[in-house]
Amino acid sequence: MIEAIATGAVIADKGYDSDALVSTIEATGAQAIIPPRCNRNAKRSVDWHRYKARNLVERFFNRLKQFRRIATRYDKLASRFNAFLHLACAYIWLL
């Protein structure tokens, strides 16, 4: 799945720190921003400023999940779901 998406960087948790995944990411030309695990012998360098922005995105999705209508997808039509998603994003942005 990583090979199919064109991106400049892949940001992930320590749980995704494996040599196979990092080499796959770098083979596509993207930068792997994954902190090394504590038991890794050769530590890789990480761009901590870009990794810090990941937390903002995670907190935003967690706030979206607080809206029951979005979390359970009650709307049958995609257009109605999308409309409420825009409304919820605007509400979060205003807070």
What are the pLDDT digits (tens) for 41-52?
888 888 899 999
The values of phi and psi at residue 88, to 5°, are: -65, -40
Say if residue 39 is in the same domain as residue 82.
Answer: no
Q: Is residue 1 scored above 80 in pLDDT?
A: no
Q: Identify whether residues 46 and 71 lie together within a single domain.
A: no
- The neighbouring-strand residues paired with 31 are 9
Contact 34, 46 (CB under 8 A): yes
Domains identified in the chain, total number: 2
Dump pLDDT digits (tens) for 72-85.
Answer: 988 889 999 999 99
What residue numbers bound the domain in which 95 lies? 65-95
Which residues, in sequence order, are CB contacts of 14 under 8 Å at separation 6+?
A: 34, 35, 36, 37
Phi, psi of 41 (to 5 degrees): -75, -50
